[in-house]
Amino acid sequence: MAIEKVDVFVTSPGRNFVVLKITTTDGVTGLGDATLNGRELAAAEYLKTIAPMLIGKNEDNIEDIWQYLYKGAYWKRGPVTMAAISAVDVALWDIKGKKLGVPVYDLLGGASRTGLLTYGHASGVDLPSLFDSIDSYLDKGFKAVRVQSALPGIPSTYGVAGSANAQTGNGEKGMRYDYEPARRTEVPVEEVWDARTYMNTLPGVFEAVRNKYGNGIALLHDCHHRLSPIQAARFGKMIEPYDLFWMEDCTPAEENQEMLRVVREHTTTPIAIGEIINSATDYLTLIKEQLLDYVRSAVTHTGGITHMKKLMDYASFYDIKSGFHGPTDVSPVGMAANLHLGLAIPNFGIQEYMRHSDETLEVFHTSYTFTDGMLHPGNKPGIGVEFDEKLAAKFPYQPAPLPVDRLLDGTVHEW
Ligand code: KDG
Ligand code: MG
């Protein structure tokens, strides 16, 4: 009853992933995801550094191993450290579930609901293409849709399929935005950002969407860290009539959390933040001061199931809910971990879902299901994902850094 082997894989079936496999002396295996988009090799190296420290440890002692890696590193937190700890943690929960013959959500207190409300990514270069995109998600059964729109005069915009430099694919041509694999270069592509154009455009887009679809569907939007606090405050106020489920990352408040106070003072549009926050401790003020409504962390980036469960339990006392990060750079292993935790916690809000490409899903065999706009992690023991190592080896790593944004005058800005 000990950890015998720790393997780290970097594979690129459609996009890059970092996969951890832990094997016990009894031959039980568990999988973890340490994918850090654009910085995958750093996370893989971290895992290789800590691998020898895991050998011989009792795999049952998940909390102790978590503390050992976190406090024992001395250099706490940070995206690379926390992605690596998350991967170990999820792999150990996977092993525990398999040993006991139960799905991980059962170990976390059991199911609190029958399924997880899920949102898909709609976008358009103009209103007709946006409507086509929304229609395609509604046709698939989604009850909640993220709406992103191109901006006049700006060649390429975050989240918009079909705008120059963005790409479509994964079997959903013309409807889908994903940076990989189109952006496989050593050096980041550069894009342009202009907040004035954005603020003049988006409220009209939400109005047109509400006029066409009514109030029955949940609409979400990602500002992707691009507005100043006062711009975000004004933007939130401007879009109040369109009843958004949330505005995400309205201002880069991961660093200066006080920024969200300005936004809160001016608008009741719900705030989602946290996909690049990597520790529960970085949420303490945000939660205590109720500066957010939805926690956007992924289990893979914020210390795994062990740490995220604590975070969400604390958030539950403030009626703050989950909105776990679920783009394609969270691997199917990480996605499954999100789903198990989401099913168990009392304060689940919504789950982001970008279906992985067929290539990805040939390497990762998942057992989670999507029915009628809801995801479910499935009932297989552990997290319910299998990894085809042989096939994965056929897809070597390819550098694919995220883009860099500049303002119209060339100043570097948040992407
Ligand atoms: O790696 C960066 C992406 O995961 C991020 O840009 C996606 O903002 C994102 C989202 O909300 O899914
Ligand atoms: Mg986001």
Query: What confidence score (pLDDT) does residue 365 get?
Result: 98
- Condensed to tens digits (0 to 9), the pLDDT of residues 55-89 reads 999 999 999 999 999 999 999 999 999 999 999 99
Q: What is the pLDDT of residue 170?
A: 46
| Ligand 1 touching residue 224 (CB < 6 A) | yes
Q: Are strands 321-322 and 412-413 parallel, antiparallel or unpaired?
A: unpaired
pLDDT one-digit tens code per residue, 367-397: 999 999 999 999 999 999 999 999 999 999 9
What is the atom index within ligand 1 of the atom nearest the CA of 354? Answer: 12
Cite the active site residues.
158, 224
Ligand 1: does its nearest atom lie under 6 Å from the Cβ of 327? yes
Amino acid letter at 60?
Answer: D
What is the DSSP annotation of 273-305? E-TT---GGGGHHHHHTT--SEE---TTTTTHH
Q: Which ligand is nearest to the CA of 402?
A: 1
Nearest to 400 by CA among 88, 58, 18: 18
pLDDT at residue number 354? 94
Task: Please indicate, yes or no, whether the overall pTM of this predicted structure exceeds 0.85.
Answer: yes
Q: What is the pLDDT of residue 256?
A: 87
Q: Are strands 374-376 and 116-124 parallel, antiparallel or unpaired?
A: antiparallel
All residue ranges of the chain with pLDDT < 50 are 164-174
From the CA of 295, how far away is ligand 2's center (Å)? Answer: 11
Pocket flag, ligand 1, residue 275 (CB < 6 Å): yes
Ligand 1 pocket test, pick from 325, 350, 415 with the greatest ligand atom count within 8 Å of Cβ, gives: 325
- The CA 324 to ligand 1 mean position distance, Å, reads 11
C-beta of 352 in contact with ligand 1 (< 6 A):
yes
CA proximity to 147, closest of 192, 177, 117, 183? 177
For ligand 1, say whether the CB of 221 is within 6 Å of any of its atoms.
Answer: no
